[in-house]
Amino acid sequence: MMENKKNAKASRISVIGNYLPRRCGIATYTTNLSNALALEMGKNADLIVVAMDDIPEGYDYPDRVKFSVRANVQADYYWVADFLNANRYDVAILQHEFGIFGGEDGSYILYMLKALRMPVITNLHTVVREPTRGQKVIIKEIARLSDRLLVMGHKAKELLVHLYGVPENKISFIPHGIPNASFGKPGKDNNFFGINSKDMILTFGLLGPSKGIENVIKAMPAIIDKFPEIVYLILGQTHPHVKEIAGDAYRHGLQQLANQMGIQDHILFRNQFVSDETLMRYLQSAKVYAIPYLEKEQITSGTLAYAIGVGAAIVSTPFWYAKEALGEGRGKLVPFNDPDAMALEIMRLLENNQERDEMRSRAYQYGRSMIFEEVARGHLDLISEVCKLRRKIPGDLTTARQEHKVLDELPEIDLFHLKTMTDDTGILQHAAYNVPNLNHGYCIDDNARALIALCIYYSLRKDKTILPILKKYLAFLHFAFNPENDGFRNFLSYDRRWLEDEGSEDSHARAIWALGIAVKYAPNDGIRNMAMRLFHDGLVRLETFGSPRSWAFSVIGLDAYLNKYGGDSQVRRLRTELAEKLLHLFKDNCGEGWPWCEDTLTYANAKIPHAMILAGQWIPNPEMFEAGTRMLEWLLRIQTAEDGHLSVVGNLGWYARGGEKANFDQQPIEAMSLIDACIDVYIATEDARWFQEAQRCLGWFLGRNDLNVALYDFETGGCYDGLQPDGVNENQGAESTLSCLISLLRMYQIMGMHNLITDKNAIFGGDI
């Protein structure tokens, strides 16, 4: 004990995870573990917490929380690593669960791990037996970047060794922590909970469909027949992530089931997230504790651990952790989805006091090694061990943070100017300097781009505060659709008068592009259904279009839609037909030194090869993909200055075949189109040069251009309207601002994917 404290006093410990008052099991665990560690370390404890936030406003944390990370903001993962490194913490203890970190499968956490310069102990709360491609990459990379993996169940260790290839000596076992509770007599606090003299069956935890509580409710009629005074108490709020998607539908469904069965007087719901002290009283009062989970692949369970800790009489389904923890007579296991078996075992325990008390005693004694005091001591021993081992290793275990330079130069996403340009109707077209210019009203082109930007933004940040604005842009597209000709109108005056009955082919196609993106990234079903309805309404006109850019914009939108509804044969056919038109145009028009489908380069040029690349990848059509890639490479080459910076075709003359490329005015939409295309080629090929090209093109916005001036306005979050011979066009209109914003968003989006791709290639040689 004294040696533990001595080791701890020499350590500065950081614990990373969810933290109370955030309401979830990991938050409770991290809080209890931190308290226990600090207590074991003594008065001079130097222990801090880094808390993960899942809401933009964060939580009112206690003083121990010194840094909070916005889960969906990639840069925060670097800044917290900088904070811990600068303050020279000796060890980081990470609580890992896929769902609490941002990025694809929680990939953003890898940014932090790569940047930390201290030993890392990662506690894996979930190890999946059938992982997705991304999950397997992430766990293997976490194993590589951690000094030790910590598991709370032996099944997890088995999976890590045999499925993920983690060396056995890199894995340690410490049981799930529990409060130190007394071995009470069931029913002693019934009056306190308003149950009076009735016996209680209890289930607690955050509610969701995987909990299987309906099976206990279905078991209750048989139990009530034999024990008329029994009640089943369900304690806990709906899981926040479940509630975000489906509200309280699961709880209401359980209540309705009880009513239909006529047993509502025996089913009590306590919609509360209670303190550990209150929870212990509930558990000590329960005659039987029921765990009817539906999924066997669960390697740990805080609810089961707590029930063991008080010596509850437990009946559980045989998920992995339950089979391990309830062995040797510490509980009863019943098959999944079997209310009859659940009823039978509960009734046996209710009527056999001696068997129940013996089982409770075995569980309670087993739980003594799980109290947080013991768990904290185990952590301190492990910290001492990994720190000693690290000192024997020359240099850092972790890799250099290769991507940090990229994120260092990415401006933080700033929606201030976008919001300034948006009113109750939609986004205004133009600005005088950075002030909205009302004279020119609105257009569908910009509202379509704004919808694209906010859909991508929400997919990255999960920021619900932007949903009202996102809906305005979608509502504008709905208002723009003219059912009399199945077309989208484009220009709307400030006093809300349409200036035409029908817009251009390109504006219609941009609407299809935006609606496809909205279907792919929709924050909820209402937005997706609305976007899908408009999307299908707009398909009627596409086959009649003759503009190559209208074909390209449409193909990109169709492809995005098919990411969600890949079985839609009409949309697949349209994508193929329009993309083949582009390919045929390219074949008919390309020549020596001019691999292009037209005789003049004009605006949004990269959208044409972008469409061919996407369609060629997924039809699949290798010839189309190769042609699109060839066109994009040529666009990049002819728009590269001698010193390597991007110099896009200007709109004062464009670039005609056999002519000279116009140097000005250079428009932000050109750089955005190149970035968008390069990123999708990178995703398709995993060739790092395309990622580097996207970075280079982004540099055009940030000052690496012909005039060495930034077009991005760091003060407003807007973008100047273009490069002119004598400087920037100082107006910050919607097209320019949205071109820059979409470019930034796509770069932030690809950073998470880039992390997965580079890690996968490092670990698996590009193949798993």
Q: Residue 151 belongs to a domain with what CATH number?
A: 3.40.50.2000
- Are 211 and 151 part of one and the same domain? no
- Determine phi and psi for 606, rounding to 5 degrees: -70, -10
- Are 225 and 78 part of one and the same domain? no
Alpha helices in 42-107 (DSSP H): 74-86
> What are the start-end ranges of the E strands in 422-536?
428-432, 435-443, 481-482, 487-488, 491-492
> Could you tell me if residue 193 is inside a domain?
no
Helix axes 525-538, 548-564, angle to 10 degrees: 140
Helix axes 607-618, 668-685, angle to 10 degrees: 20
Q: How many domains does the chain have?
A: 2
- Are 171 and 268 part of one and the same domain? no
Band of the pLDDT at 45, cuts 50, 70, 90?
confident
> Could you tell me if residue 736 is inside a domain?
no
Tokens of 158: 């088995």
- Are 53 and 69 part of one and the same domain? yes
Lowest mean pLDDT among 174-188, 328-342, 401-415: 401-415
What are the pLDDT digits (tens) for 674-709? 999 999 999 999 899 999 999 999 999 999 999 999
- Are 156 and 75 part of one and the same domain? yes
- Are 89 and 233 part of one and the same domain? no
> Could you tell me if residue 34 is inside a domain?
yes
Strand order in the sheet with 428-432: 428-432, 435-443, 491-492
Band of the pLDDT at 224, cuts 50, 70, 90?
very high
> Could you tell me if residue 604 is inside a domain?
no
Among the listed residues 359, 57, 416, 58, the one whose alpha carbon sits nearest the alpha carbon of residue 186:
359
pLDDT at 760 over 60: no
- Are 252 and 210 part of one and the same domain? yes
pLDDT at 10 (0 to 100): 41
pLDDT at 360 over 90: yes
What span, in angstroms and rounded, lies between the C-alpha atoms of 500 and 187? 76
Give the strand pairing for 65-70 and 47-53. parallel
- Are 265 and 328 part of one and the same domain? yes
pLDDT at 408 over 60: no
* Structural domain containing residue 49: 2-177+373-392
In this structure, the dihedral spanned by the alpha carbons of residues 264, 266, 271 and 276, taken in order and rounded to 10 degrees, is -170
b/e for 352-385, b at 16 or more Cβ within 10 A? eeeebeebbebbbebbeebbbebbbbbbbebbbb
Instruction: Name the β-bridge partners of 227.
Output: none
Mean pLDDT of the chain: 91
pLDDT at 7 (0 to 100): 43
Give me the DSSP letters along 581-610: HHHHHHHHH-BTTB-SSSSEE-SSTTHHHH
- Are 361 and 378 part of one and the same domain? no
The fraction of the chain above a pLDDT of 90, given in percent, is 81
> Could you tell me if residue 334 is inside a domain?
yes
Is 727 in contact with 707 (CB distance < 8 Å)?
A: yes
* Spatial CB neighbours of 145, under 8 Å, sequence gap ≥ 6: 110, 113, 114, 120, 397, 398, 399
- Are 272 and 138 part of one and the same domain? no
> Could you tell me if residue 585 is inside a domain?
no
> Could you tell me if residue 628 is inside a domain?
no
> Could you tell me if residue 640 is inside a domain?
no
- Are 244 and 116 part of one and the same domain? no
- Determine phi and psi for 482, rounding to 5 degrees: -105, 105
Flag whether the pTM goes above 0.85.
no
- Are 229 and 165 part of one and the same domain? no
